[in-house]
Amino acid sequence: MKKIKSMFEKNDLFKIVGIAVLFTIILTWIIPVGQLSGGVYTKYGLVRQGFSDIAYAILSGANFFAPQILFILFVGVFYGIISHISGYKALVNKIATLLKGKEKIFVVVSSLLITLLTSFLTQTYLILIFVPFIIHIATQLKLDKLTAFLCTFGSIIIGILGATYGSDGFVAFINYLNYYKTPIEVTEEVAIRAGILALAFILFNFFTILHMNKAKKKNEDAIEDAFALETEKSSKVKVWPMAVGLAVIAICTILGYMNWSGNFEIDIFTKFHTWLTELAIGDYTVISYILGNNALELGSWDLPIIAIIMSIVLILSAIIYRLSFDEMIDSLIEGLKKMVKPLLVVVLAFSVFGLINSCPFTVTICNWITHFATGFNPFLATLSAAVASFFHNSYFGLTSYALGDILTTTYQDMYGIGIVIYSSINGLVSLVAPTSIFLILGLSYLNIPYTKWIKHIWKFVLIMLVLLVLLFTLLTYL
């Protein structure tokens, strides 16, 4: 029994996520599925899921999120190799030396950058590129692991809470709404969502600073970095090639994943892409052949494109800093191994998506909640959004796919406020739900117990919930 208890204590995330999966299965035996159309609910009956369905749910979730899973593994490979390159170690050490005594500034600025990138860029998993780099610096600054989580993974979730133009979940959420009512743009109520972003960021970092003050006094746990760096002893290592390489990745990330034309009506990149790919020698568009069929204009890139750029930077860095081929292979394998445990928890969480996709009982629950009152009610809408967010957390687009009729028909002219409610509550639930991918990925990556995280974040969640409900009430009745 002691061994089993010890195993659960060491792997509490598996236990917590497993309970969430089991809870989802139990509900399929209790709550029937149904469909909404034109504000009318049609009940189809129970679609019970059993233990044999878990395997199919895991496969279904893993298949749907295959690009994201592969990208997480690629980030592991990238940092598994780059953390053994002398130029990278020297660069991190140099930055950390410059930031000595400025730890709070580093944490807040890092949190701000991660939050804004998440809120504006079209791909959320893309932000993982920057996370190990920030954690490496935090490790050198001897910050505790909860602080490192707060300014990285935690800040990603704050960016989701205050999604403005970006986050792949919110973009998908808006796109699916257009099946029910057109046109609905990402810019719908964007000023309100930007205000929520600012409020959440300020409050979140207020609690982060409070934690840093306590952690310094209590000598909190040091960071358990999956890609811990050794101090680069040689002072002759040139850091500028590595700095340039990482800068190229950062610039490409911003240019390639900001929807310039759709959100800001900036068409210069579209025109440039058209001009470049139409350049021809005789009847042959040679440039387009070289770039390939999947070369997209800046602003509409997908995850494989940045992976290619990162691979080029990685290979050039290995050549410049004379990392042998054998060392690269060993580091690659090491990087993959270090991402296995976090990824296993994530894949288990994806199974909730697979179960809900097969048995969408959330439609029944949210329809029941919504019709507790006549017309739009911000309190019931908040509760409905919380329920949907718990079960749809791995893919926010599923919420509008399943519940778009509620937002566009039942809420009628209040659908804009409904979008704000569902978007912000999705982010708030992501801070506590064991179905939250970035939460469990980050906790597993840094080996932080789920209970320890809840003890830290519950005050922020409670205060933010009260403020959001107050805002929703004012928007509805004033």
Give per-residue pLDDT as tens, 252-281. Answer: 999 999 988 878 888 887 777 777 777 777
Would you state the pLDDT for residue 1?
46
pTM assigned to the model: 0.92
- Please say if the pLDDT value at position 433 is more than 50: yes
Position 266 in a domain: yes
Q: What is the mean pLDDT of the chain?
A: 88
Would you state the pLDDT for residue 259?
87
* Closest among 369, 408, 401, 405 to 387, alpha carbons compared: 369
CA distance 458 to 37: 37
Position 6 in a domain: no
Give the confidence band of 231 by pLDDT, cuts at 50, 70, 90.
low
Structural domain boundaries enclosing 277: 260-298
The predicted model gives 319-336 an average pLDDT of 88
Are residues 157 and 24 part of one domain? Answer: yes
- Please say if the pLDDT value at position 462 is more than 60: yes
Which stretches of 218-369 are assigned E, i.e. beta strand?
none
Identify the sign of the CA torsion 81, 132, 296, 252. Answer: negative
Instruction: Put residue 375 in one of left, alpha, beta given phi > 0 → left and psi -120 to 50 → alpha.
Output: left
Are residues 275 and 164 part of one domain? Answer: no
Using DSSP, state whether 299 is helix, strand or coil. coil
Are residues 303 and 290 part of one domain? Answer: no
Using DSSP, state whether 284 is helix, strand or coil. strand
- The encoded tokens of residue 394 equal 């791995």
Let me know: does 306 contact 117? Beta carbons within 8 Å: no
Are residues 373 and 329 part of one domain? Answer: yes
Would you state the pLDDT for residue 4?
47
- The encoded tokens of residue 236 equal 């002759």
Question: Domain tally for the chain?
Answer: 2
Map tokens 């029994």 to a residue: 1
Give the confidence band of 7 by pLDDT, cuts at 50, 70, 90.
very low
C-alpha pair distances (Å), 301 with each of 186, 295, 379: 18, 8, 38
- The encoded tokens of residue 10 equal 């060491």
Are residues 461 and 385 part of one domain? Answer: yes
Helix axes 12-28, 2-10, angle to 10 degrees: 90
Are residues 47 and 37 part of one domain? Answer: yes
